[in-house]
Chains A and B, each alone.
Chain A
Amino acid sequence: MSTPDDAGLTVVAAPGGADSGPVPALELVHVSAAYGPYRALFDVSFTVPAGGIVALLGANGAGKSTVARVVSGLLPATDGTVSVGGRPVTGAPAYRIARAGLAHVPEGRGVFANLSVEENLVLSFRQRAGAAGVRGALASAYASFPVLGERRRQRAGTLSGGQQRLLSLAKVLVVPPALLVADELSLGLAPGVVDAVYDGLRRIHQAGAALLVVEQQLDRVLEVADRAVVLQRGSVAFDGPAEDAVAAAEQVLAESGHEAPMVAGWADRRSGRVRAGRTAGNGRNGNGRWRGRDRRSSSPAQDRGGEGEVGGARDPGPW
């Protein structure tokens, strides 16, 4: 996997890229949204200031991806207004919003699997950098991410998951947009690549882009973000400076009966608590086997007095 060196990522000027001023890059006012009959967002309001970085946090299912989709026009808002760079875009088709300078990197593999790596990049650069800028943008993409250059003729679908993710990020990191909405930025990326991606984010930020970043790794995103918005069950639970976000997120999770999120790095996560629990478990059930039709030894359901047999009324599981 390639790591861009310090001088590597050349930034190509984007049309409208230097669009900074007092107007916020993104503004949501009382936005609601739904998937068919299922409502996903309720009265969400927040802004991303011009040239600012906002982290969008929340538990799984809180509506982070939905916010990203509503902003980019993939999902119509059922209520409220969305403005990008001061221009209202509510109800506008996604391609209009994209042309207004918004780049949305969707969660997962945002690439065209049947097109080659180069065709993927060309498609994107032609829109963002203009027909004349394609050549330069390609060169700088291959310089920053050599792995993409090596595989330029290969179908994007044959890349590994992480490489595909890299390809979809390369599109927006080379030609900085006015506003970048990145969904689950580092999900599925190995830590080394995550560093490279964050370097890229800082660069386009320096080039004037405003960022809205959905991220599960709180520690990583809060390093770069100025502000944070925490969602809870489709509503804004916290909107404030990034420094206070961890406390707020913990508060939110605690309120909904959850524990605090794990913020620490991987080395500290092998905490004694889990470890100790396991040792105790081994001691108690070291020989406990549950195999085939023979269920004489203790099974979890039997431990709980057979609640599992009912399977309906109560929820005895760890959830």
Chain B
Amino acid sequence: MEQLLGFAVPGVPYGCAYAIFAVGLVLTYQATGVFNFGYAAQAYVSAFVFGWLVQVHQAPVWLAFLVAVVALGPGLGIAMDRLLFRRIPPTHGLAKVVTGLSLLVGIPSLLPVVFGNQNLVGLPSIAFNPNTVYFHLFGLALAPINGVFLSSVVFTAAILVVLTVLLRATPLGLEMRAAVESRRLVQLEGVNADRVVSAAWALSGLMAGLAGVLLAPTQATLQSQAFLTLMVAAIAAAACAVLRSMSVAAAVGVLIGVVSLVAQGELPTGSVWYSAVLPALPFVVLFAALLVVPGLRALDDSRDPLASVDPPPPPVAASVRSPQLERVVRPAWWLLLLAFAVSMLTWMPRAWETVLDQGLAYGTVFLSITLITGLGGQLSLAQGTLAGVAAFTAALLALHVGVNFFVGALVGAAVAAAVAALLAVTSLRLRGLGLALMTLAAALLFDNAIFSQPALTGGTAGITLHRGWLGAVDFFDPNGHAFFVLALAVLAACAAGVRLVQRGTVGRELAALRGSEVGAAGIGINLAWQRVLVFALSGAVAGVGGALLAVQRASVAPGEFNYQLSLAMVVIVVTTGVRTVEGAIQAAFGFVVVQELLQYAPQRFSGLTFVLFAAGALSYAAHPEGIVELQKRRWTARVERIVLRHPPPPGALPVPAGFGEPVAGEQR
């Protein structure tokens, strides 16, 4: 018993870290209607600025706290609201997730650009000395209560009480909850909705800043990774509370912390339980919660009864080019492709050929996002994992069984498709945010329970590919073009396949599903089957791309296929265009080229790629087709005006009489 307590007591502050993040996520969701993936980034910014002021500028702790938490926290929250989330229509769940992800990916990369690379070590605590033991619980030597314990417990409890009272028992809290549902309706009651929503975001930002500064002293070196890891684990606690009850979220958070530390003490080291299940515990909880809790199936369901006031989305058919222009444009594309292939085979410098080869491989992986998000209308945060599954399968088959890597890659793609299909089957009842969280849980499970097994994946170094695995042709020859030809062929085949699906029956049925699942079922479309189909297809394409990436790098390592890659990939593809095949390919080339160009810039700018793409993805709400697609459309229209004598008038759709009365938002 004493020993159990000895493990459990240190688990409490550990769990409080989850609890603080979980409470913050629930608060933000309850008060603003956004599941804010950027929360960890906000916390990191405050912690970073706090540390920077204290260590680099020797500012007193209270001053640094005032600046980093009291001023910067709410300021950042309000800025996020005013500049980003306010512009997203309340019904556009996908855009909220994508915007949050962009902040998560972009903000930590932006800090070194602004402040330079800083190595912040051993930050001070704002209250209670972390290393002082204040007293012993129950007088037990094994249960010392130190400053870390006290500050985490005291602050978590205080935050919980204050926020619960604020949200449930004050007029402002009532107005916040009402504004989440419909800003317009709350305005009709005479409430200044903009101010209420800004207050909610300021409060959420303050909490994020507080979380950052509270948790900073527990980390040896301040890193955004640690915050990210804490937040994704805290999502489990938030999910158990159905994003509704802050006290449940806090309780589950503490419980996860305590259980994992107790289990760490009690489980035999070296067992599968210890090495695989324990690190994945929060994600197992998240997975289970998403499977079982019915409330999580309807996260995106609340609709604004006044949504029909919004102007309708721009007509989708506007991208149709006139036939005359098509006759010119199509051969031009083929010429461009030919020129690209010839250049790669002849004059292209080696370094750039490698970069563009990488682009081809990434392009294939990115196509899987076109399938699942562009066609399926669902966000998957596990595409990197699926690519990894195929790459590891192929490598392991070659290593242990001696199967040719390419045959293994096909098997791997099939396995990835099966994993994706399985994921689709288990999450059939989830949509939008719920599904995104489910795929994130799956990715984290793979990262922590499977990819992390050194016996299986060769540890952080991964598995090195041997020349012989790939047959007679030397794909690793730095002077040859074998890989380029292979990658081009594979990408072309996958792109053609996606295109055919998009234009075929399946594509149309998926478009129907994106519009209305109820309506699609009502005309005999099998939702479940379509979902499984698009997941499996996307898994297979991601798998093929993963194997291609492995060949390009001549190795497979777990770090190359972790969940952070998946998050970044979504942000990158959404930037250029998630609806079209070209969008994915442009995303891949844009990504590798920008990254290569930044090699020439000072080191602090190395993260700028993600900042750029994250900034691009922020426009997702306004232009879901992607900025590249948008520009292409604009330029096409311009060229048509110049080249053609009788250009179609802009917005050539007939506007039927009676437009303007409610269409989609009509309810009663």
Contact = CB atoms under 8 A, between A and B. Distances in A.
The answer on A and B forming one complex is yes
Interface of A: 34-40, 59-63, 65-66, 69, 72-75, 93-95, 98-99, 103-104, 106-115, 119, 122-124, 126-128, 131, 161, 165, 171, 187-188, 233-234
A36 B315 CA distance: 12
Chain B binding surface, main DSSP class:
loop
A188 B310 CA distance: 23
Given A36-B312, A108-B668, A114-B302, A72 B660 contact: no
B302 A94 contact: no
A37 B666 contact: no
Give me the 4 closest cross-chain CB pairs, A-B, nearest first: A61-B658, A36-B311, A40-B660, A94-B187
Contacts of A37: 311, 651
Contacts of B306: 74, 106, 110
A97 B661 CA distance: 22
Interface stretch (B86-94, B172-180, B342-350): B172-180
A183 to B, nearest CB: 10
Contacts of B171: 126, 131
Interface of B: 171, 174-175, 177-178, 180-182, 184-194, 302, 305-306, 309-312, 651, 655, 657-662, 666-668
Given A38-B655, A161-B668, A104 B188 contact: yes
B189 A69 contact: no
Contacts of A233: 657
10 contacts: A37-B311, A62-B658, A65-B662, A95-B187, A99-B190, A115-B178, A123-B178, A123-B191, A188-B668, A234-B660
A74 B667 contact: no
Contacts of A65: 660-662
B655 to A, nearest CB: 6
Given A61-B661, A123-B175, A108 B188 contact: no
A106 to B, nearest CB: 6
Contacts of A63: 660-661
A75 B311 CA distance: 10
A108 B194 CA distance: 24
A127 B190 contact: yes
Contact of A128 (B174, B190, B192, B657): B190
A171 B660 CA distance: 27
A215 B171 CA distance: 34
B305 A35 contact: no
Contacts of A38: 311-312, 655, 659-660
A171 to B, nearest CB: 8
Residue from the set A61, A107, A233, A234 with the largest chain B CB neighbour count within 10 Å: A107
Contacts of B174: 115, 119, 122-123
A74 B188 contact: yes
A171 B181 CA distance: 18
A109 B305 contact: yes
A113 B302 contact: yes
Nearest to B306: A106
A107 B662 contact: yes
A35 B659 contact: yes
A94 B188 contact: yes
A110 B305 contact: yes
A108 B661 CA distance: 13
Contact of A114 (B181, B187, B190, B657): B181
A99 B186 CA distance: 12
Nearest to B651: A37
B655 A72 contact: no
Contacts of A124: 189
A112 B181 CA distance: 6
Contacts of A110: 185, 188, 305-306
Contacts of B658: 59-62
A170 B312 CA distance: 31
Contact of B177 (A66, A114, A171, A234): A114
Nearest to B658: A61
A119 to B, nearest CB: 6
A98 B188 CA distance: 6
A182 B667 CA distance: 16
Contacts of B189: 95, 98, 123-124, 127-128, 171
Contact of B191 (A72, A95, A161): A95
Given A75-B309, A106-B185, 4 more contacts: A35-B312, A39-B660, A114-B177, A119-B174
Given A75-B309, A112-B181, A127 B667 contact: no
Contacts of A161: 668
Nearest to B244: A114
A165 B180 CA distance: 20
Contacts of B188: 72, 74, 94-95, 98, 103-104, 106, 110
B98 to A, nearest CB: 23
A174 to B, nearest CB: 14
A93 B184 CA distance: 10
Residue from the set B175, B655, B659 with the largest chain A CB neighbour count within 10 Å: B659
Contacts of A99: 190
B184 A94 contact: yes
Contact of B309 (A60, A74, A111): A74
Contacts of B661: 60-61, 63, 65-66
A40 B187 contact: no
A187 B668 contact: yes
A189 to B, nearest CB: 9
Contacts of A122: 174
Contacts of B660: 34-35, 38-40, 61, 63, 65-66, 234
A114 B667 CA distance: 16
A98 B187 contact: yes
B187 A74 contact: yes
A61 B657 contact: yes
A214 B186 CA distance: 21
Contacts of A60: 658, 661
Nearest to B665: A108
A98 B666 contact: no
Given A38-B660, A108-B305, A161-B668, A95 B175 contact: no
Residue from the set B171, B182, B187, B189 with the largest chain A CB neighbour count within 10 Å: B189
Given A106-B185, A112-B182, A123-B178, A40 B190 contact: no
Contacts of A34: 660
Contacts of B662: 65, 107-108
Nearest to A157: B302
